[in-house]
Amino acid sequence: MSGTIRSLDRISCLDDFDEVAREKIDKSVYDYYDGGSDRELTLSWNKQMISERYLLRPRVMCNVSKVDMTKYIFGDKLSMPIGVSPTGMHKMAHPEGELATVSACDRMNCLMILSFFSTTSLEDVAKRAQYCTKWQNVYILNNRDITHNVVQRAIRNAYRAIVVTCDAPVLGNRRKDVRNEFTLGKFSLENINDSSVKQIRDHSSEIFDPSVSWQDLSALKKHVGDTVRIIAKGIMTPDDAELAINAGVDAIFVSNHGGRQLDGGPSTIEVLPEIVQRVGKRCPVFVDGGFRTGSDVLKALALGADMVFIGRPVLMGLASFGEAGVYKALSLIKEELRRAMMLTGCTSLRDIDRSILLERSPVRLNEI
């Protein structure tokens, strides 16, 4: 390995996993996981704006000898307000795939959202997850039967929520994947048993439905009733948050698909405050997009997010060291959040509010 990090005990932060993963997996796979759409402006801004837009105010002499990071969401008790975002095709990163990821989440009691495009069946993931809360991600495809089949199987296997990706009427233009001629290769999508698998394997946009609307989301909520929560993922404006609530969803998930859909759109941290304000106390608000440290997470919580989710760091941990890498990634960011809370005088999640933030005007350095 050409890099300086060769063992798990040398990993000191989530970014360290990138170096190891780049050495261990094919370039086309690394680029698929790491890349964004078009010029990757939004991908860059996700991380950049967290650090440049908001600063944390240190507090002193606050008696932070005991810090409680316990989070309750929809009645489930979690060890921290950080969860795993839906990311596809984990077996491209490691042979154990999603089973390794969920095993690490189980050890941590960390919420995991299983991707619609998982390379492990939702049933097998459910069997492995003995303790942690699990949610199932779905897309509303041209063939609605595929979506409904996954929803019903998820309900039967005790997935507590359905996270609907709302921002993919068509796939973003991911230039790296085009240049690499990326395909799934030998890997199978275990939750989709249909001719559409070939189109997904060929990275085709034909399976996605540009006619999808709020009526489809409302119909899905009416279909499942109170048996499972419905979460709208991909919300980036207050108006869409309002429409999602009107459609009956149980939570809003602020996300720009990791900068993989509309390039040139804002970072999630920039739009989070106005969406939180519009939603009020009507339902929880979640967020992902560029969060790499516990301090990043603390900023989002201070802006009103109920939970923060991470995706790429989990994949890079998985690619680097399998289950142990995922567990290390989750442990690191949890400990970083604990430390950041202590240094800002917060001993519980209830203490976190905007008083610990200092806002400054954003400067975009990568627009050219």
Average pLDDT over residues 13-40: 95
How do residues 77-90 score in pLDDT, each as one tens digit? 999 999 999 999 99
Residue 226 near residue 258, CB atoms below 8 Å: no
Rounded Cα distance between 113 and 191, Å, is 14
Q: How much of the chain, in percent, has pLDDT values that exceed 90? A: 85
What pLDDT shows up at residue 3?
A: 53
**What integer best gives the mean pLDDT of the chain?**
93
Catalytic-labelled residue, pool 90, 94, 223, 257: 257
pTM of the predicted protein model: 0.94
Decide if 223 is catalytic: no
The answer to whether 268 and 287 have CB atoms below 8 angstroms apart is yes
CA-based nearest residue to 166, from 112, 113, 228, 236: 236
- Tell me what pLDDT residue 363 has: 59
Which residues face 288 on adjacent strands? 309
8 Å CB contact between 53 and 362: yes
| CATH fold label, 8-353 | TIM Barrel (3.20.20)
Residue 346 confidence (pLDDT) above 90? yes
Domain boundaries, the chain: 8-353
